[in-house]
Amino acid sequence: MAGSAASLKFTVRRKAAELVAPAGPTPHELKRLSDIDDQDGLRFHIPVIQFYRRNAFMSGRDPAAVVRDAVSRALVHYYPFAGRLRELEGRKLAVDCTGEGVLFIEADADVRLEHFGDALQPPFPGLEELVFDVPGSSEVLGTPLLLFQVTRLSCGGFILAVRLMHTMSDAQGLVQFLAAVAELARGATVPSVLPVWRRELLEARNPPRPGFAHREYDEVPDTNGTIIPLDDMAHRSFFFGAKEVAAVRSHLAPGLRKRATTFEVLTGCLWKCRTVALAPDADEEMRMICIVNARGGKGKQSAIPSGYYGNAFAFPVAVSAAGELCARPLSYAVRLVKEAKGEVDGEYMRSVADLMVQRGRPHFTVVRAYLASDVTKAGFGELDFGWGRPVYGGPAKGGVGAIPGVASFLIPFKNAKGEDGIVIPMCLPGPAMDKFVEEMGKLLRPAVDVADMFPAMIKSAL
């Protein structure tokens, strides 16, 4: 992170938040969410942020007005976003399609884009001012499902922050909606991808019959107080370009080195280093939860239609005793992650939906757990509202959700040297972060001569 950016101070002047309703008439109806959507672990608002440079061709155009108008028109197609959540019997969530609209904030900041540093990456200074939590807006029920804030910068660029009620959509679903907004902002009359609701595709069977152990939803008592305390949290981002991924990969057994995906390599690495850093008792069970997208899954019945914008992913989990995870080679952690990911298909998704109904929609286990979500292919970096692609686009911070510090995102990124790679924001208690950096340093030193394996590694790393 650029040193100057960390201490950056600026003032944001906001206009009063307003509701932006659909630009035309929309149906008034009650639409049930899927049994994947309304699980406890998704009942929170998640922020994303996009930074845009000044564009001479757009001089005279106000980004706030352009985005506000495009959002209003996009909501005609995506009208459930303009509604409010209600809870039905059995904690079932449904959208009351009222057409009330989404929150929109227009703002100005006395700061230039370059003041944020050469390499824009989380954590961002002044984030609370760039995605303002309008009082009373962050409840689950009866509040706007989206919040937009357009902050104009003194250089002519702007920042677009969006906060989403996660039960409505996953990253891919949100990008699909924002892509529609972007297309309309650039002059299209209708979005190129039309929305598909079809939440019944991921509803439980009757009667529910889970077919997997689903250890991601184990009820685990926090006997040793291992849920991370929220005070004294350190936020830091780590960059993995082709060279760094190759170095970590060099620590794997030769067969696994070729077969493991970049997500599996980095997730295994993060899990191992984080466990060493937190120093739990050797016999404590540690969990690595992976977000696995079910779109285009292996089982033909898992085929989610194009245009579906609900949550279509599972939380498969790798489980290991802390002592083994710390003592054994990196290959051990990566292999466990690979096996957990491999479980997810159409049958697995139906099994999760069944378990949700059977057990009252539980939260995934957060005790001694860590979660990684890959948004490298979600498409935040492609969103062009007329000013070109963003300098940075993606999650606003790491550790979001009901339990901060538990989740990390893998975000596509170009560093200050112009190298493409992945940036991963981490959130840990201060002393643990120092130990994490030390452990990560060991795995970033190649175990074999990376130069020998580098041509192949570049291809697999990116």
Give how far Cα 279 sits from Cα of 80, 290, 321, 322, Å: 45, 22, 12, 8
Name the active-site residue from 77, 166, 235, 251: 166
- CB neighbourhood size of 41 (10 A): 23
Tokens standing for 61?
Answer: 């155009």
368: left (phi over 0), alpha (psi -120 to 50) or beta: left
Evaluate the CA torsion angle 36, 39, 45, 49 in order and state its sign.
negative
Structure-token match 């139906």, residue found? 350
166 as an active site residue: the answer is yes
Contact present, 164 and 173 (Cβ < 8 Å): no
**450-461 vs 242-249: helix axis angle to the nearest 10?**
120
Q: Where are the beta strands (DSSP E) in 79-206?
A: 84-87, 93-96, 102-109, 146-153, 158-165
Q: Where are the beta strands (DSSP E) in 257-308?
A: 285-290, 292-293
Strands 93-96 vs 102-109: parallel, antiparallel or unpaired: unpaired
Of 70, 102, 61, the C-alpha closest to 181 is 70
283 as an active site residue: the answer is no
Kindly state the DSSP code that residue 421 receives in the 8-state scheme. Answer: E
Contact present, 312 and 330 (Cβ < 8 Å): no
| Residues classed as catalytic | 166, 384
